[in-house]
């Protein structure tokens, strides 16, 4: 099988963790006899420095021409809170989502027994926690208009806007995921306050009626935030709007013990993008210390969702579980008193494991 992917390393630690993920993809392709066709393009702060745009047209075209996109991270302190910057790296991420039609961000939350000690929650709370957060990506306050400030600068406003079609699309996807998992959907909104949330709940209730075999419950976002910490094992598939999903998925990330462990997929109309959730972490850039496992698990999701290669996806996930069991991990998840391995060393070991499976 021929796999055609675009590789966007991005900023900060993005290039380092993406290189490891790409090496793992290459190893899997060799193992299964697939032909890998890939090309690299710029995005983020590096792209602004090079061509003045965080998501250049050439990069966009490469993504359109590819079956999947392996993405690193975007962001640089050079552009953070800089009033003279007319364009920011994060605008590239929003542009990519909009132009590629990336309407659903899928974040699996999983736990690893060897990493229970790294979670701020008790082992008995998180053991066997396994759920998926599905966040709508193209609507809500991040894209709503009008948006701006008053002429005197003392007031600012954002508009949260959703259409019935946007909500229907993402909620249907949640039920599709639940049907392949444990048959439970949790719809998160703020329907007691927000008009957009009332539309969300109205549409979700209509769709729930078409799936009597799947249990559905509804939580206000503040209650959901509490229950994620109190009883994460109660969740199977969570679906919510853009802003709520952004916040709740970062909250849920602590369950696993490290942001460096959590992958994501952004499902799109034209192609899909696979990326770790940890961001660019510029303080660690170039030091060969960043945890590459979230990027590698994102590659596993790519094999599964974009190419329907479940055996290959499972092999990648098994290799991650193996390095964790062996203790060949970076400093963020290393056991006390044990040696911390470098990013590149973890990558080398992952490839060795795949070659020997």
pLDDT tens for each residue of 140-153? 998 888 888 888 88
Of 226, 256, 286, the domain-final residue: 256
Q: Do 237 and 106 meet the contact criterion of CB atoms below 8 Å apart?
A: no
- Examine the pLDDT at 195 and tell me if it is beyond 70: yes
Together in a domain, 124 and 86: no
Together in a domain, 27 and 147: no
Say how far apart CA 9 and CA 192 lie, in whole Å.
Answer: 42
The two tokens of residue 153 are: 């600068």
Please identify which residue in the block is written with the tokens 């993504």. 63
Examine the residue annotation and report whether 222 is marked as an active-site residue of this protein.
yes
Together in a domain, 306 and 194: no
Q: For 345, phi and psi rounded to 5 degrees?
A: -70, -40
Instruction: Give the pLDDT of residue 260.
Output: 87
Dihedral of the CA atoms 188, 215, 129, 299 (nearest 10)?
Answer: -80
Together in a domain, 106 and 58: yes
Of 236, 256, 276, the domain-final residue: 256
Examine the residue annotation and report whether 190 is marked as an active-site residue of this protein.
yes
- Examine the pLDDT at 36 and tell me if it is beyond 70: yes
How far is residue 175 from each of residues 215, 239, 315, measured CA to CA in Å?
Answer: 10, 9, 27
CA count, 13 A, side-chain hemisphere, 158: 8
Residues 6+ apart with CB under 8 A from 193: none
Of 256, 290, 324, the domain-final residue: 256
Together in a domain, 233 and 285: no
In a domain, 136, yes or no: no
In a domain, 137, yes or no: no
In a domain, 135, yes or no: no
CATH number at residue 314: 3.40.718.10
Catalytic: which of 78, 222, 234, 287? 222
Nearest to 297 by CA among 264, 270, 272, 269: 264
pLDDT bracket for residue 14 (50, 70, 90): very high
In a domain, 31, yes or no: yes
Portion of the chain with pLDDT greater than 90, in percent: 85
- Examine the pLDDT at 84 and tell me if it is beyond 70: no
Catalytic: which of 55, 103, 190, 317? 190
- Examine the pLDDT at 303 and tell me if it is beyond 90: yes
Together in a domain, 249 and 125: yes
Together in a domain, 311 and 236: no
Bridge pairing between strands 237-240 and 184-189: parallel
Across 27-155, the runs of DSSP E, i.e. the strands, are 35-40, 68-73, 102-110, 130-136, 148-149
Together in a domain, 149 and 208: yes
In a domain, 324, yes or no: yes
| Domain extent at residue 160 | 120-130+143-256
In a domain, 280, yes or no: yes
- Examine the pLDDT at 335 and tell me if it is beyond 90: no
Say how far apart CA 145 and CA 149 lie, in whole Å.
Answer: 12
Residue 167: which H helix or E strand, with range? Answer: helix 164-179
Together in a domain, 149 and 69: no
Nearest to 297 by CA among 278, 272, 320: 320
Together in a domain, 101 and 46: yes
Domains identified in the chain, total number = 2
In a domain, 138, yes or no: no
Together in a domain, 185 and 220: yes
Together in a domain, 93 and 199: no
In a domain, 168, yes or no: yes
Q: Do 162 and 199 meet the contact criterion of CB atoms below 8 Å apart?
A: yes
Say how far apart CA 111 and CA 255 lie, in whole Å.
Answer: 7
Instruction: Give the pLDDT of residue 213.
Output: 97
pTM reported for the whole predicted model: 0.90
Instruction: Give the pLDDT of residue 55.
Output: 98
The two tokens of residue 197 are: 């949330």
Catalytic: which of 142, 288, 305, 322? 142
């Amino acid at each position: 099988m021929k796999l055609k992917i675009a590789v966007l390393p991005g900023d900060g630690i993005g290039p380092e963790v993406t290189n490891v993920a790409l090496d793992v993809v290459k190893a899997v392709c060799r193992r299964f006899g697939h032909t890998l066709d890939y090309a690299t393009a710029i995005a983020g702060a590096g792209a602004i420095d090079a061509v003045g745009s965080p998501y250049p047209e050439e990069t966009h075209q490469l993504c359109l021409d590819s079956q999947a996109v392996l993405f690193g991270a975007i962001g640089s302190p050079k552009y953070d809170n800089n009033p003279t910057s007319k364009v920011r790296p994060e605008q590239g991420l929003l542009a990519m989502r909009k132009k590629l039609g990336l309407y659903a961000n899928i974040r699996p939350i999983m736990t690893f027994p060897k990493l229970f000690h790294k979670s701020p929650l008790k082992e008995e709370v998180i053991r066997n926690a396994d759920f998926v957060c599905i966040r709508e990506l193209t609507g809500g306050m991040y894209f709503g208009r009008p948006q701006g400030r008053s002429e005197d600068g003392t007031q600012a406003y954002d508009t949260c806007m959703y259409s019935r079609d946007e909500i229907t699309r993402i909620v249907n996807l949640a039920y599709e995921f639940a049907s392949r998992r444990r048959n439970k959907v949790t719809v998160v909104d703020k329907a007691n306050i927000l008009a957009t949330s009332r539309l969300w709940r109205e549409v979700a209730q209509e769709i729930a009626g078409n799936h009597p075999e799947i249990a559905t419950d509804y939580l206000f976002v503040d209650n959901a935030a509490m229950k994620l910490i109190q009883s994460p094992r109660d969740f199977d598939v969570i679906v919510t709007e853009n802003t709520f999903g952004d916040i709740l998925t970062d909250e849920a990330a602590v369950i696993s013990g490290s942001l460096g462990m959590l992958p994501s997929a952004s499902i799109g109309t034209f192609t899909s993008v696979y990326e770790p959730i940890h961001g660019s972490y510029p303080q660690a850039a170039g030091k060969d210390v960043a945890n590459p496992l979230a990027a590698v698990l994102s590659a596993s999701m790519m094999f599964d969702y974009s190419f329907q290669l479940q055996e290959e996806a499972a092999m990648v996930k098994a290799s991650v579980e193996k390095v964790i069991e062996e203790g060949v991990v970076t400093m963020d998840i290393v056991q006390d008193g044990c040696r911390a391995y470098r990013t590149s060393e973890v990558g080398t070991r992952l490839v060795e494991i795949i070659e020997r499976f």
